Structure 1
Amino acid sequence: MTETTTTTGSKRTWLREHSELGICVLLALLGVLVLVDAASISTDFTQRGPVGPKTVPFLIGGLLLLVAALLARDVLRGGRGESETGEDVDLSAPSDWRTVLLLSASFLADAVLINIIGFPLSGMILFWGCAYALGSRNAVRDPLLAAVLSVATYFVFNNLLGVPLPGGPLMGVL
């Protein structure tokens, strides 16, 4: 029984020392998923140019598999990731659930309101809510910056990039 316990203990120790292999497995599975999905892309339309719709997904899937293999080789040869000693986060401190909930509420409000009041207003609520959740309490600067960021983002996506976003009632004014 002692020998079995020692064998089990050594397997656990080996797995702890090579825990990065879990990331390798995850990357490999993701690569396979991307390749399988890319193979199912239909090409029922006229291709314009030498690069078809399957090229980039096949490239990404292949690169994911390559990175998984190279990382696995490095881990099995004794390579280890750097510890996060330079991080200034106190790991013993409890989670700040208030901030998490406020950020979640800002994102949820944006998702619910974007088609009702348009991107500029819902984006302003999102930017202002995130700034508030992360500790900014300037009553003049925060809403002004949120409005500028939201309207600028709307115009960049809608007018420059050609990605239509819902304008809402403000677009008649702007």
Structure 2
Amino acid sequence: MSESRVTSPGQDRPGETPSGSTWLRDHSELGICVLLAALGAFVLVDALLISTDFAQRGPVGPKTMPIVVGSGLLVVSALLVVDVLRGGRGESEIGEDVDLSVPADWKTVLLLAAAFLANAALINVVGFLLSGVILFWGSAYALGSRAFNRDPLIAAGLTVLTYVVFNYLLGVSLPGIPLLGV
């Protein structure tokens, strides 16, 4: 009795040499590795070309974050190459918890966009402290919170905390309240 062996689409039969196109199809995730490595190299080269002709505030300069991001991209690319060559495969996105038959919630999207645009339009007019309250409160309302006695207090607390952290701990000046001269 002859033994027939069932092979998966990318698996060659015993005694056959793997063809180049089959191997590439089975390791298609390597394309993402190449893309991540190219992006990481681009970010690193671009970061190293940043001019430092200006006064730097503090120990962290303008090159720090791009170098961290570019290096991170290269490390992730290398780790992904190792995983793919060891047999790791990306899983398909068939089991998402999103019901594609339900239309998008445009009301929420538009309310969030309005909160962000209001913040951008008002920040230089009324300052960060007031525009930040509008941003945080508007975002909470857009995402479904209807606690009208609690939400403004939380929004004010988050705004003051953000203002203090940026102005006094990080040294990044946010507009105070221009109408009061602060």
In the superposition, relative to structure 1, how do residues 41 and 137 fare at CA in structure 2: closer, same or farther (>3 Å)? same
Structure 1 residue 21 displacement after superposition: 3.9
- CA deviations on 1:34-54 (whole Å, 9 max, x unpaired) are 12212313355899xxx9875
1:100 aligns with 2:109: yes
Higher helix share: 1
Equivalences, count: 160
Q: Which moved more, 1:78-87 or 1:96-105?
A: 78-87
Q: Distance in 2 between matches of 1:160 and 1:68?
A: 34
**Contact 1:35 1:62 (8 Å CA) reproduced:** yes
CA positional deviation for 1:104: 1.3
CA separation of 1:90/1:52 partners in 2, compared to 1, >3 Å: closer, same or farther? closer
Secondary structure of the residue aligned to 2:124 is helix
Say which of 123, 129, 142 aligns to 1:120. Answer: 129
Distance 1:89 1:56, change over 3 A: closer
Aligned partners of 1:93 and 1:13: how far apart in 2? 38
Describe the shift of the 1:129–1:59 C-alpha distance in structure 2 as closer, same or farther (beyond 3 A).
Answer: closer
Q: After superposition, where does 1:113-152 map in structure 2 within 5 Å?
A: 113-152=122-161
The CA deviation at 1:132 is 0.7
Query: In the alignment, which residue of structure 1 is the partner of 2:78?
Result: 69
Contact 1:120 1:170 in 2 (8 A): no
Quote the RMSD (CA, aligned, Å).
3.7
CA contact (8 A) 2:126 2:178 kept: yes
Greater Rg, structure 1 or structure 2? 2
Distance change >3 Å, CA 66–CA 167, structure 1 → 2: same
Provide the residue aligned with 1:28 in structure 2. 37
CA contact 1:21–1:75 (8 Å) conserved in 2: yes
d(CA) in 2 for partners of 1:55, 1:153: 22
Identity %: 73
Deviation track 1:72-114 (CA, whole Å, cap 9, x = no partner) reads: 3422442124567886443443221211111111111111111
> Aligned in 2, Cα 1:168/1:127: closer, same or farther, shift over 3 Å?
same
Give me the TM-score of the superposition, normalised by structure 1: 0.70
**Structure 1 alignment gaps of length 5 or more:** 1-10
Kept after mapping to 1: 8 A contact 2:41/2:74? yes
TM-score normalised by structure 2 residue count: 0.67
CA distance 1:125–1:56, shift in 2 (3 Å): closer
